[in-house]
Amino acid sequence: MVRVIVAEDDISQRLSLAESLNRQEGLSVVGVAEDGLETLKLVRECEPKVVVCDMVMPRMDGFMVLEHVRRIELRRRPRIIALTALCRDDFISRAMALGADYYMVKPANVVFLTQQILELANRDRENVLIPPVPVGVAAPPPAVEPPRERPMAETAEMLVASLLLSLGMPAHLNGYRFIRQAVLMVLDRPDMLSNITCTLYPAVARQFNTTASRVERSIRHAIYVTWTQGGPEIFNKALESRAFTYADKPTNCEMIALLSERVRYRLGRWQ
C-alpha cells in the first residue's frame, strides 16, 4: 500500500482529493495538511512514499516545502507531486529544480494522478540524508559513489517535459498532457505512429479517461497555440531541426514523431 499525504489549503478540494485517492486500489492517504508547516510535520511523522502538494498555501508555500524536504533529516525522502493552478513555465521549472518529481495542473484527473503516484512509488530511489550541519561547521565532503543509471522511464519523462518547455507549450493545456503521454508511448512502441488514429489516440485517451477525438483535437490545438506564439524558429531550435517554415506547421503525427526521435536520440535508443 502506497502511503500518501495530501497538502491543499482549500478544505473542499483537500477532502475531495483525499477521499478520491483513498478509494483507489493500492493507495492509502495517511495525512492531510492545510499549509506547508503542517505538511512538513506529517512528512516526519507519517513517512509517506508520495506527497501531493499544492504550491500556494499559507504559512509556508509548496516551493518552501520542497526546499525543506531536501534539507531536513529523513529516513527516506518522499516523492513529491506538485499539484497547482500555477501553469507558468517559470513556476514549473522552479518546482522541478527544487526537487518536485512531477508537476500537474489543476483540476487533476484522479485516475491519471493515481497512475503517477503508483509509478513514482515504485521507482527505486534511496534518499537517506546527511544530518543537518550546525551553523559555522563545514559540512563533510560527500561520499563519492559510482554513477548509477537512472530509470529509463524517468529520464524519458524529463526529456519530453524539457522539450515541451523549450517549445513554450503552455502546460495547462490538455494537449500538453496528451502529447507528452503520446511521445512516451511511441518510445516504447514506435509502430503506434503508423496509425495514430486507431492506435495511439485511443491508447492516450484510455490513460486520461477521455475520447480519442478529444485527444486529437487537444494536441492539434496545443500545437497551434505553441506555433502561433513561437513560430518555426522556436520549433527548429528546440527540436534541432530545419524542417519548418511559416508555411508548414507540423501535424500531430509529425510533432509526436519529431519529439520521440529527439528523446530517443538523447537516450541513445536509436533502433
Interval 173-229: pLDDT, tens: 899 999 999 999 998 888 888 889 999 999 999 999 999 999 999 999 999 998 888
Model confidence, pTM: 0.49
Say if residues 122 and 143 touch (Cβ distance below 8 Å). no
Please tell me the least confidently modeled range out of 34-48, 53-67, 236-250: 236-250
Distances (CA, A) of 116 to 21, 108, 109, 207, 255: 12, 11, 11, 11, 24
Q: How far is the C-alpha of 29 from the C-alpha of 25, rounded, in Å?
A: 11
Tell me the domains of the chain and their CATH numbers.
2-122 (3.40.50.2300), 152-267 (1.10.10.10)
Helix (H, G, I), strand (E, B) or coil at 83: strand
Over residues 43-59, the mean pLDDT reads: 90
